[in-house]
Amino acid sequence: MSKEIIIAPSILAADFARLGEEIAAIDAAGADWIHCDIMDGHFVPNISFGADIIKAVRPMTKKIFDVHLMIAPADAYLEAFAKAGADVITIHAEAGPHLDRSLQAIRALGKKAGVSLCPSTPESALEYVLDRLDLVLVMTVNPGFGGQSFIGSQLEKIARIRNMIGGRSIRLEVDGGVTRDNAAAIAAAGADALVAGSAVFGGKSSADYAANIAAIRVAAEAGRVPKRHDSSAQPGEPVLVR
């Protein structure tokens, strides 16, 4: 795994009264992507915002808009989000009956295609669509609300998905309860893109945002570094201590 770590602050945790300013602030603070959580109050128990908001704030940054559709059905809205400025469009495997068709539709719109899995959904849901994907998003909380605690059992799922991806050029993203305290374990499991909401926006200024993003990045990068050589390993063979 050689891809650089991506930090994608979730604007769900931003001050919506100053959303454009908040996006400009995290851009300046070192965000790699801007993560946009779209909730419909149907697939998940909350409503956030739609394509018109994406369009309105798109001029605030040139960074990638990583749009996570927690909506069902999703197909009818793919074109609207593509036209609004999404660069990556991620849909849920659980949100519709024709996942392969939906991914083809995203690619046909000229966008990167992602699939997200809820905590209870096994990684086998990805098996027959891997070659349609640019991104896999593992939910490490139950989707619908920000500020939840990380579900530790998902680390094993992340590692299994990393093995499934193999040599494919697919980003492995994690969303839910990501902090500087667990970023190392998440990266060690195989993730290379981390979504963080309250862990980034918990400060009061762009300087705080920059410090928060940097702390998560440093922790994640450290998690990918072998810590020592295990006594059972062959000479010169590094073993990662988890």
Q: Give catalytic residue positions.
A: 37, 175
Residue 212 is inside which H or E element, if any?
A: helix 206-223
CA dist., res. 36 & res. 81, Å (int): 11
Buried b (16+ CB within 10 A) or exposed e, 37-73: bbbbeebbeeebbbbebbeebbebbebbbbbbbbbeb
Structure tokens at 106: 């995203």
The length of the chain in residues reads 242
Q: State yes or no: 176 annotated in a binding site.
A: yes
Contact 219, 184 (CB under 8 A): yes
Q: State yes or no: 134 annotated in a binding site.
A: no
- CB burial of residue 109 (10 Å; 0-12, 13-18, 19+): middle
Please state the φ and ψ torsions of residue 205, each to the nearest 5 degrees: -145, 165
Q: State yes or no: 175 annotated in a binding site.
A: yes
Q: State yes or no: 147 annotated in a binding site.
A: yes
Cis peptide before 122 (omega within 30 of 0): no
Q: State yes or no: 197 annotated in a binding site.
A: yes
Q: State yes or no: 146 annotated in a binding site.
A: yes
Q: State yes or no: 68 annotated in a binding site.
A: yes
Sheet holding 135-139, edge to edge: 6-9, 193-196, 171-175, 135-139, 112-117, 88-92, 64-70, 33-39
Cβ-based neighbour number of residue 224 at 10 Å: 16
Binding-site entries:
10, 35, 37, 68, 144-147, 175-177, 197-198
Binding-site entries for substrate:
10, 68, 144-147, 175-177, 197-198
Binding-site entries for a divalent metal cation:
35, 37, 68, 175
